[in-house]
């Protein structure tokens, strides 16, 4: 089906071939298979942690899963013109994008990750304060046409940054540092990303 598969009982990626598979499976089949791969990968991670695997084996497992999904997303990006909104709707509430977090794999929703800024022709990425904030607070991945189709964006809005400050003020402060945190507060004060002060805003110790 064009996908690599990860056997939950093995530590390696292998290519699954099925003589009766269509060369170009339908979009619905592809999405269903993607969700299955997420579940298989999670089962593998849970199995590993339950049996107390070695740290070097954990790193190998992480690399295998990330490589697997990189190949899957690369294939899906070649089929983006085939997908319709209804085909990818199942992914809106399904964390399916893997990221490495402190030596482990966690899966995220499209709304929880953003595309990494590409380097300029000189080889360096041009960064502004918003780029620094994005890097500090959110997970970033390389651009992929399929992931863009399902909702991954280039950068978070001020609303999304503010929502995170309301939800996790201490973590945001630790990640940004006092000076940058105050700069974000000034941006919010000059252009509030809300129409009225809600109960959650009042109760959050973000100031």
pLDDT digits (tens, 9 = 90+) for 25-37: 889 999 999 999 9
**In the numeric block, which tokens belong to residue 46?**
């849970």
Query: Mean pLDDT over residues 52-58, rounded?
Result: 83
97-101 vs 13-15, strand pairing mode: unpaired
Q: What is the pLDDT of residue 12?
A: 40
Other beta carbons within 10 Å of 108: 17
**In the numeric block, which tokens belong to residue 117?**
């800024």
Q: What is the pLDDT of residue 13?
A: 42
Q: What is the pLDDT of residue 2?
A: 54
Q: Is the pLDDT of residue 14 over 80?
A: no
Q: Is the pLDDT of residue 119 over 70?
A: no
Q: Is the pLDDT of residue 190 over 70?
A: yes
pLDDT band at 114 (very low <50, low <70, confident <90, very high): very high
Query: Mean pLDDT over residues 163-189, rounded?
Result: 91
Supply the mean pLDDT for the chain. Answer: 84
Q: Which residue has the higher pLDDT, 158 or 124?
A: 158
Q: Which residue has the higher pLDDT, 125 or 114?
A: 114
pLDDT over 90 percentage in the chain: 52
113-115 vs 139-141, strand pairing mode: parallel
Q: What is the pLDDT of residue 39?
A: 95
Q: What is the pLDDT of residue 17?
A: 41
């Amino acid at each position: 089906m064009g996908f690599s598969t990860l056997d939950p009982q093995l530590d390696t990626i292998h290519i699954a071939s099925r003589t009766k598979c269509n060369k170009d499976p339908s979009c619905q089949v592809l999405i269903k298979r993607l969700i299955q791969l997420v579940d298989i990968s999670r089962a593998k991670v849970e199995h590993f942690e339950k049996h107390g695997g070695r740290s070097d084996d954990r790193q190998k497992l992480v690399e295998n899963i990330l490589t697997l999904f990189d190949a899957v997303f690369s294939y899906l990006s070649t089929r983006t013109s085939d997908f319709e909104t209804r085909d990818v709707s199942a992914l809106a509430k399904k964390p399916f994008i893997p990221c490495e977090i402190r030596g482990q794999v966690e899966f995220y929703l499209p709304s929880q990750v953003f595309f990494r800024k590409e380097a300029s022709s000189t080889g360096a990425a041009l960064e502004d304060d918003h780029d620094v904030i994005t890097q500090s607070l959110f997970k970033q991945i390389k651009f992929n046409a399929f992931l863009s189709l399902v909702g991954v964006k280039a950068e978070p809005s001020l609303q999304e940054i503010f929502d995170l400050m309301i939800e996790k003020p201490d973590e945001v402060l630790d990640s940004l540092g006092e000076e940058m945190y105050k700069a974000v507060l000034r941006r919010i004060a000059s252009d509030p990303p809300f129409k009225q002060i809600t109960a959650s805003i009042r109760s959050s110790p973000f100031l």
